[in-house]
Structure 1
Amino acid sequence: MTDIADRLEALETRVAFQDHTIDELNATITAQWRQIDMLTRKLGTIVEQVRSGVHIADPSSEPPPPHY
């Protein structure tokens, strides 16, 4: 009988660990999707700025860095 109880306890422990891991993975994926959504919106804004002709600084008009 203790063999079955030990096996059941081992299974319950494994399931609890897996549930914890699944919760952590879900939180990570949710955070990544939020970041992807934010980056997608920022990229869309940049694309619109480029398409609308917003002036982007010409690198040749900027002074050289101090090490030149």
Structure 2
Amino acid sequence: MQEIEEKMAHLIRAVDDLSDTVARQQGEIDVLTRRVQMLMQREATRESEGGAAIFTGSEKPPHY
């Protein structure tokens, strides 16, 4: 019976550790998701304002 209780205690601790890890990772995922959304909105605004110029090899940028 003592062996089963020891194994159960180890399993409970492992589950608690995994739960903490999942919670931390979910927080990181939430932060990264908000950052990606912010960057996508910023880029959409930049494109709608006409600032999305792409220069190819032979073109000179406007500051030359």
**Residue deviations 1:23-58 (CA, integer Å, cap 9, x gap):** 112111211221111111011100011012125232
Which of structure 1's runs of 4+ aligned residues deviate more than 6 A? none
Match of residue 38 from structure 1: 35
Contiguous gaps of at least 5 residues in structure 2: none
TM superposition score normalised by structure 2: 0.76
Q: Partner of 1:8 in structure 2?
A: 5
Could you say which structure has the greater relative contact order, defined with CA pairs below 8 angstroms and 6 or more residues apart?
Answer: 2
What RMSD over aligned residues (CA atoms) do the two structures have, in Å?
A: 1.9
Q: Which has a greater percent of helix?
A: 1
Task: Tell me the TM-score normalised to structure 1 length.
Answer: 0.72
Q: Which of 34, 51, 55 is the equivalent residue of 1:54?
A: 51
Distance in 1 (CA, whole Å) between partners of 2:5 and 2:48 is 63
5+ residue gaps, structure 1, are 63-68
Q: Alignment length, in residue pairs?
A: 60
The structure with the larger Rg is 1
**Percentage identity across aligned positions?**
7
